Structures are given as C-alpha cells and as structure tokens.
Amino acid sequence: MADDAYNYAYLDEQTKRMIRRAILKAVAVPGYQVPFGGREMPLPYGWGTGGIQVTAAIIGRDDTLKVIDQGADDTTNAVSIRRFFAKVAEVATTTRTDEATVIQTRHRVPETPLREGQILVFQVPIPEPLRMLEPRETETRTLHALSEYGVMQVSLYESIARHGRISKGYNYPVMVNGRYIMSPSPIPKFDNPKLDRSPALQLYGAGREKRIYAVPPYTPVKSLDFDDHPFEIETWEQCCALCGSKESFLDEMIVDDDGKHLFVCSDTDYCERRRTLPEAAE
Amino acid sequence: MKPLLSARGLTKRFGARVACRDAAFDLWPGEVLGIVGESGSGKTTLLNCLAGRLTPEAGSVTYDSAAYGAVDVHDLSEARRRLLSRTEWGFVNQDAREGLRMGVSAGANIGERLMAVGARHYGDIRRTASDWLSRVEIERDRLDDRPTTYSGGMRQRLQIARNLVSEPRLVFMDEPTGGLDVSVQARILDLLRSLVGSLHLSAVLVTHDLGVARLLTHRLMVMQGGAVVEDGLTDQVLDDPQHAYTQMLVASILPV
Ligand SMILES: Nc1ncnc2c1ncn2[C@@H]1O[C@H](COP(=O)(O)OP(=O)(O)O)[C@@H](O)[C@H]1O
Ligand SMILES: [Mg+2]
Ligand SMILES: [Zn+2]
C-alpha cells in the first residue's frame, strides 16, 4: 500500500478488475465501445478521468509512465497526472517516449515511433463518433451493431459540399479492422496514420460517458474518405524553428508584440531530443 | 407471376384498441394499391405493419425480394430488413421532416442511400444527386442548400428523390401530399404518376383523399375502424361503391 488512505494506484481492486475486464473485451473487439462502471476520480471531467482510470487499472510498479497534453509533458494537467501516479502507484516517470511503457495522452500521438510492449492510453471526451449525426443512443448502438455507416459518409460528403474538401482536422473518424467506426479522440488527423497497424496497444478511456475501447497492436485503422477526395494529413511550408524537423506536427507560436510567429514541434520530447542528440536528428 | 407483397391476417392492437384487423391482400408488380378511409381508420398502422416498422400481433407479410427471394418481412433479421428498406424499398412520410435529414444539404440527403451501400466517389454521388434533383423538378443550383430553406412542396419532392435514388421496387407512401396547398399537391401527384410509370414502381399509398386515390392507384382498399370493408379496382370502387361506408365516403368527398 502506498498510503493507508487509498489502495495501490488509487482505485480499489474490485474497480480495477472491472475496468480490466472491460479492457479485455475492448481488445477482443477492436473499435467497439465497452461500457464500464466508472469510479469518481479526484479530478474534474475534462482532466482525463477516463484515461486515468484505464492507466490506474493497467499500471504496475515496473512501469515507466509518460503523460502528455497536446504533445507537451510540462502542462499543469500532464504534470499533475504524472505526480499523481508517481505517488499512488510508485512508478517511475519520464518525458521520453522511448523509455515509457505506458503513455497517457490528450490530443496527440508521439512523433517517436512506438514499439511492441508500449501502451498508449487516450483521454476521450466524446467516445461516440456518430453522436453529432445521431443523438439517440439506442440508434447509434444499432448503427454500430449493423455496420450501418452511411450517415458518417454523409457528414464527409457535406463537408466537401460546403468547403470543397473534408475539413475535419481533429477527431477524424476511422474504420477499425474493417468493422467499427471509431473516434480517435481529438488528435489532429496528422496522427491518424500512426494508429494504423501500430506495434503498441491503444486504449481509449471516456470518463464522463464511461466507455472503453481499444485498438490492439498491428490492427488496420483506416481514415474515412472518398475515392476522389482521399484522406490527407496537414503539411507545413516551414520546418520546426527549434529542431528543423520537416516531419512533425507544428504549433504556431507568437513570439513578440509585433505578432511575429514561429512554428515549433508540438511534441516537446521529440523536439528536445533532436536538439540535444545529433544522431536523433538524422 | 408472383405477387410482390402479400399480407395475410394482419392484426395490430394498441392496448385494447384494434387498430388494424385481419387485413389481407396481394400487391402485384407494377401495381399501385391505395388504402383509403377516414382519419383513425387504421391506414397508417397497416402501412407500418407492411413495411416492417410495426410488429403485428398476428398475420404475416411476404415480400418477393430481388436479392433474397420470398421473405417473411417480420421474420427477417433486423439487419436484413433495414438493408431491404433502404435498397429495394422506399418510404415517403407525410411530414417530410421525418423522412429527411434537415441539417444537411439536399445533395447529401439524396446521396445517403448510395453511400450506405458503399458508393465512395464524391463526384459520382453528386452527379447522381443533381440528376435526381432535376427529375423531381428542383433547380440543380439548390443541390447544396439544406431542406430547411425549401418550401413544403420542394421538401416532399426531395424526400421522393432521396427514396427513389436507390431504384427501389416498392414504395410505401403515407399521405404524401397531405398538408400541402392544392396546386402544390397537383404538381406532386403528376410527378409521382410519371415516376411510378417510368420506373415501373409498385406502391402502397395511404390517403384520406379520394381524389388522390383516383389519380394514382389501380386498386383500392377501404378501411373503417381497423377493418377492410371493401376492395376492388379503383374506378369500380369509386364509381359504384358497394359498402355503405364507401358510399358515404364517396358521397361526401366527391360530390358530382
Ligand atoms: N402508437 C399508437 N398508440 C396507441 N394508439 C395508436 C397508435 N397509433 C395509432 N393508434 C390508434 O390506432 C387507430 C388507427 O390509427 P392510424 O393507423 O394512425 O389511422 P389513420 O392512419 O387511418 O388515421 C387510431 O384509433 C389511433 O388512435
Ligand atoms: Mg395516418
Ligand atoms: Zn522541433
């Protein structure tokens, strides 16, 4: 016990077992949303309570945890989740993608390629990809059960009709293993290709709606599109102003009062490693 | 020739009320069957039982599917029934808002069935949607407008296009011109008549308006209090009604 006040990794063993059962089911049916009896966590929703519960259920003392928020390890949110697990689960923490065994993330997939044995835990605000199109829960469940996904394609059609292209930049819907349409959480579509056949296990936890879903290693994940409007990721004319990367997702930063701006890597660990280790930058 | 749709002993209750009692008929390919009767007589209930939208307490509905052969509509898995209803069937609601997606463009509304069965070429879907818009006499430049910007008559025509784009064999219609102005109604009736003819559609049409029935249907069933009291060729039923209730309907609505 880390402390008399709470169980190891904060959640009681019964709750962890229940979450693990949901995770196992989610892994067995890739992309399918498994309901679970979530616990109240010592954080408000929106801070990643779904992800935290998943992490709490899978973490052990041998793990090394990395927590990122929009690609950064040093935001208040990331720091407090990391500290929380260092305390209640007695785990080592890191900011390095290659050293971590469990990476809890909000809104990004690391640029550094993941490997077998790593687990990526996503914090999910809205798990249901069809929710904006179909508000009735019974109906969305039927649509998934019957693989009736015409309505999702309708929303992409509409986007092209309005904007001349599929304008969705975040939370871009994917087809998992040719069966279930899944919301990849609000990552930029730039990260979608990294989900496809990833060697790492992907677990998605939605705290408010109490859903868990998963993409097991090496599972096909296809971004939806049209033959004549194929899926494309964002590109930048600039490279990262700090590390010179041409391959990473860039954030725009205003650097002075004149409105001068720079583009820098959103993944802070990736950027830093490229700057400090010359071999990392080719 | 086999009937396209056969109903036998169809009975549907709501609590103690029998909304539809022991209905039976055959619908032949290319035929338009009308169901008439005053409000509350059970027309919509019967139609919904035929289309698999309501489950009857007794009786059966057999449909001769192009894909699966003869099937019992109420024994089909939900997956297959839903697939049938968006490929081989159409359903035109009285209230176009129930049959349309009001939040997306006309093009998306028409294209949905195509996408639902796997169409993935935006340009082709758009072209087909535009062709259908013009077939239902809506200007092609309204393709990207939402149905919220359409008049009642245009919405109804859009709903018809959205259903017919998958080239269904059988269309169910529940008061398709109800609630519209007379001149708007006439235009939709003309359109329906020419589409039914050119596409060789079979249809079951519910209406309380004998004028609509006269214009569009080959055969009529007259319902009263949930029971079919008379049926026959439309002209015969309307010109020489046998049942007292039909005589009353004809007398009150088609004054000579
Ligand atoms: N969902 C329902 N619940 C209870 N009663 C219903 C329901 N739908 C229809 N009814 C009743 O069944 C009878 C037939 O209704 P309906 O089929 O809608 O008639 P019509 O379409 O001829 O106007 C009416 O008495 C109506 O009140
Ligand atoms: Mg009715
Ligand atoms: Zn960089």
CATH number of the domain at A210, please.
3.40.50.11310
Closest CA to A219 of A179, A189, A171, A169: A179
Question: Could you tell me if the CB of B37 is within 6 A of ligand 1?
Answer: yes
State the average pLDDT over residues B218-229: 97
State the average pLDDT over residues B171-192: 92
- Residues A110, A198, single domain; the answer is yes
Given A196, A223, A250, the domain boundary residue is A223
**Partners of B69 in the β-ladder:** B65
* Whole-structure pTM value: 0.91
**In the predicted model, is pLDDT for residue A43 greater than 80?**
no
Distance CA(B76)–CA(B72), nearest Å, equals 6
Q: Would A30 be classed as within a structural domain?
A: yes
- Residues A36, A173, single domain; the answer is yes
Other residues' Cβ atoms within 10 Å of the Cβ of residue B123: 12
Index of the ligand 1 atom closest to the CA of residue B41: 22
Amino acid residing at B4: L
What is the predicted pLDDT for the residue at B118? 93
Does residue A226 belong to the interface with chain B, where contact is any CB pair within 8 Å?
Answer: yes
Mean pLDDT of chain A: 93
Q: What is the pLDDT of residues A86-112, one digit of tens each?
A: 999 999 999 999 999 999 999 999 999
Ordered DSSP codes for B62-73: EEEETTTEEEET
Q: Would A31 be classed as within a structural domain?
A: yes
Q: What is the 3-state secondary structure (H, E, C) of chain A?
A: CCECCEECCECCHHHHHHHHHHHHHHHHCCCCCEECCCCCCCCCCCCCHHHHHHHHHHCCCCCEEEEEECCECCCHHHHHHHHHHHHHCCCEECCCCCCCCEEEEECCCCCCCCCCCCEEEEECCCCCCCCCCCCCHHHHHHHHHCCCCHHHHHHHHHHHHHHCCCCCCECCCEEECCCEEECCCCCEHHHHHHHCCCCCEEEEEECCCCEEEEECCCCCEEECCECCECCCCCCCCCCCCCCCCCCCCEEEEECCCCCCEEEEECCHHHHHHHHHCHHHHC
Ramachandran area for residue B59 (φ above 0: left; ψ -120 to 50: alpha; else beta): left
- Residues A239, A117, single domain; the answer is no
- Residues A212, A276, single domain; the answer is no
Q: Would A1 be classed as within a structural domain?
A: no
How many distinct structural domains can be found in chain A? 2
- Residues A133, A272, single domain; the answer is no
Closest CA to A210 of A21, A29, A36: A36
DSSP B139: -
ipTM of the shown complex: 0.91
Distance CA(B139)–CA(A183), nearest Å, equals 37
Distance CA(B221)–CA(B231), nearest Å, equals 4
- Residues A132, A154, single domain; the answer is yes
Which among A149, A158, A228 is the nearest to B108, CB-wise? Answer: A158
- Residues A280, A203, single domain; the answer is no
Taking contacts as CB-CB distances below 8 angstroms, the residues of chain A near B107 are: 157, 161
Domain ranges of chain B: 1-88+172-256, 99-167
Mean pLDDT of chain B: 95
Q: Which residues contact A209 (CB under 8 A, 6 or more apart)?
A: A126, A127, A128
Q: Is A271 a catalytic residue?
A: yes
DSSP B146: -
Index of the ligand 1 atom closest to the CA of residue B15: 4
Is the Cβ pair B122, A229 closer than 8 Å? yes
**Partners of A251 in the β-ladder:** A264
**In the predicted model, is pLDDT for residue B254 greater than 60?**
no
What is the predicted pLDDT for the residue at A282? 54
Reduced to 3 states, what is the DSSP secondary structure of residue B88? coil
Give CA A106 to chain center in angstroms. Answer: 6
**H or E element: which one contains B212?**
helix B210-216
Which residue in chain A is spatially nearest to B120 when comparing CA positions? A226
pLDDT confidence band for B179 (50 / 70 / 90): confident
Q: How far is the CA of B7 from the centre of ligand 1 (A)?
A: 19
Sheet holding A174-176, edge to edge: A180-182, A174-176, A221-223
Tally of residues, chain B = 256
Is the Cβ pair B122, A148 closer than 8 Å? no
Q: Would A6 be classed as within a structural domain?
A: no
For the four alpha carbons of A272, A275, A277 and A280, in that order, the dihedral sign comes to positive
pLDDT confidence band for B122 (50 / 70 / 90): very high
What is the predicted pLDDT for the residue at B255? 42
Mutate to test the pocket of ligand 1, among B38, B43, B45 (most ligand atoms within 8 A of CB): B45
Which residue in chain A is spatially nearest to B116 when comparing CA positions? A150
What the block records as the tokens of A170 is 């975040």
Amino acid residing at A125: P
Distance CA(B48)–CA(B246), nearest Å, equals 23
Ligand nearest to the CA of B38: 1
Q: What is the pLDDT of residues B194-211, one digit of tens each?
A: 999 999 999 999 999 999
Q: Would A79 be classed as within a structural domain?
A: yes
Residue A163 C-alpha, separation from nearest chain B C-alpha, in angstroms: 11
Distance CA(A185)–CA(B2), nearest Å, equals 52
Give CA A119 to chain center in angstroms. Answer: 11
Q: What is the pLDDT of residues A70-92, one digit of tens each?
A: 999 999 999 999 999 999 999 99
* CATH for the stretch B1-88+172-256: 3.40.50.300
What the block records as the tokens of B17 is 């009320």
DSSP B224: E
State the average pLDDT over residues B82-102: 95
Q: Would A34 be classed as within a structural domain?
A: yes
Given A201, A223, A245, the domain boundary residue is A223
**In the predicted model, is pLDDT for residue B40 greater than 50?**
yes
State the average pLDDT over residues B148-176: 96
Residue A142 C-alpha, separation from nearest chain B C-alpha, in angstroms: 9
- Beta-sheet pairing, B17-27 with B202-206: unpaired
- Residues A126, A175, single domain; the answer is yes
- Residues A184, A208, single domain; the answer is yes
If 0-12 CB within 10 Å is exposed, 13-18 middle and 19+ buried, where does residue B69 land? exposed
What is the predicted pLDDT for the residue at A42? 67
- Residues A133, A273, single domain; the answer is no
Give the structural domain span for A266: 235-282
- Residues A252, A156, single domain; the answer is no
Q: What are the percentages of helix, strand and coil residues in chain B, rounded to 5?
A: 40, 25, 35
Ligand nearest to the CA of B20: 1
Given A177, A198, A223, the domain boundary residue is A223
- Residues A73, A127, single domain; the answer is yes
What is the predicted pLDDT for the residue at B252? 80
Asked if B137 and B170 touch (Cβ cutoff 8 Å), the reply is no
Q: Would A230 be classed as within a structural domain?
A: no
Residue B79 C-alpha, separation from nearest chain A C-alpha, in angstroms: 6
State the average pLDDT over residues B248-255: 74
Q: Would A228 be classed as within a structural domain?
A: no
Give CA B235 to chain center in angstroms. Answer: 20
Q: What is the pLDDT of residues A197-255, one digit of tens each?
A: 999 999 999 999 999 999 999 999 999 999 999 999 999 999 999 999 999 999 998 88
